[in-house]
Each structure stands twice: as C-alpha cells, then as structure tokens.
C-alpha cells in the first residue's frame, strides 16, 4: 500500500534493519521504544488491523514468528501487545504485534 509506513519499511525504502524475517513477516526495532527491548512483528501483506485479518493460519504463524524473534533476541520473558483501532491506541494501520521486554512502559 503506497502511503503505509510499514509497507515502505517492508519494501526496504528506509533501509530498516530486520532483526528477524521469514516468508510471512519482518521484525524490526520500534523507533520509540517503550521497553529495553521493543520489537514489532509486521506481516508482509497489508492488513489494517486484527479486525481485517481472516486468515487463521497466518495469525498462528505470526504468533510463532513472535516466539522465534524473541528467542533470536535472547528474550525468555516478554509481553506481546496488539492495538486494534484508534481508541485502543493504534497509530499505524498496518497490523503489527509489539514484543516488549525489560522495564516495560506500555
Ligand atoms: P501502534 O500504536 O500499536 O499502532 O504502534 C505503532 C508503533 O510503531 C509505535 O510504537 C511507533 O513508535 C512505531 N513506529 C512508527 N513509525 C516507525 C518506524 N518508522 N520505525 C519503527 N517503528 C515505528
Ligand atoms: Zn501496509
């Protein structure tokens, strides 16, 4: 999607480093971290939010991606957050899963 910042990141437009990636998703550091480690798991397909995702298998694989990215980052204890909709604090309307660990401020 043209005006989506996360689609641009996935496309490599900003040279963002991916700490983990697979066929389904890329994982990169949040630009405004709310914990010592704050990663975002972002599906490669543009889906606005959890409300628009109908693919159960993809959702399962995204959660496995959370686990693998956390393992790769050396995290054994972490919080996952999905903000769905403006009133819940969603700011970027491309589905993403936050991974937070250490001194969590969210
Ligand atoms: P949410 O409020 O759940 O939509 O979360 C959006 C997150 O994306 C926020 O924590 C932002 O700090 C983060 N963010 C926004 N733009 C970027 C970017 N260019 N690179 C990395 N993280 C970003
Ligand atoms: Zn997008």
Distance in Å, CA 79 to ligand 1 centroid: 16
Examine the residue annotation and report whether 46 is marked as an active-site residue of this protein.
no
What CATH superfamily is the domain 5-101? HIT-like (3.30.428.10)
pTM: 0.98
On whether the CB atoms of residues 93 and 48 are closer than 8 A, the answer is yes
On whether the CB atoms of residues 5 and 92 are closer than 8 A, the answer is yes
Burial 64-102 (b: 16+ CB within 10 A, else e): ebbeebbeebebeebeeeebeeeeeebeebbbbbbbbbe
pLDDT in single tens digits along all 106 residues of the chain = 789 999 999 999 999 999 999 999 999 999 999 999 999 999 999 999 999 999 999 999 999 999 999 999 999 999 999 999 999 999 999 999 999 999 999 8
Q: State which of 16, 26, 89, 92 you would mutate to test the pocket of ligand 1, scoring each by most atoms of that ligand within 8 A of its C-beta.
A: 92
Distance CA 37, CA 79 (A): 10
Distance CA 14, CA 104 (A): 27
Q: Is the CB of 31 under 6 A from ligand 1?
A: yes
């Amino acid at each position: 999607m043209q005006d989506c910042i996360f689609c641009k990141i996935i496309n490599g437009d900003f040279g963002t480093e991916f700490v983990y990636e697979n066929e389904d998703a890329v994982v990169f550091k949040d630009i405004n971290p709310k914990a010592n480690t704050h990663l975002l798991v972002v599906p490669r397909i543009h889906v606005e939010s959890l409300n628009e995702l109908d693919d159960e298998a993809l959702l399962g694989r995204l959660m496995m991606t959370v686990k693998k990215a956390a393992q790769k980052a050396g995290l054994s204890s972490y919080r996952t957050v999905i903000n769905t909709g403006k009133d819940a604090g969603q700011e970027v309307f491309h589905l993403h899963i936050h991974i937070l660990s250490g001194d969590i401020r969210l």
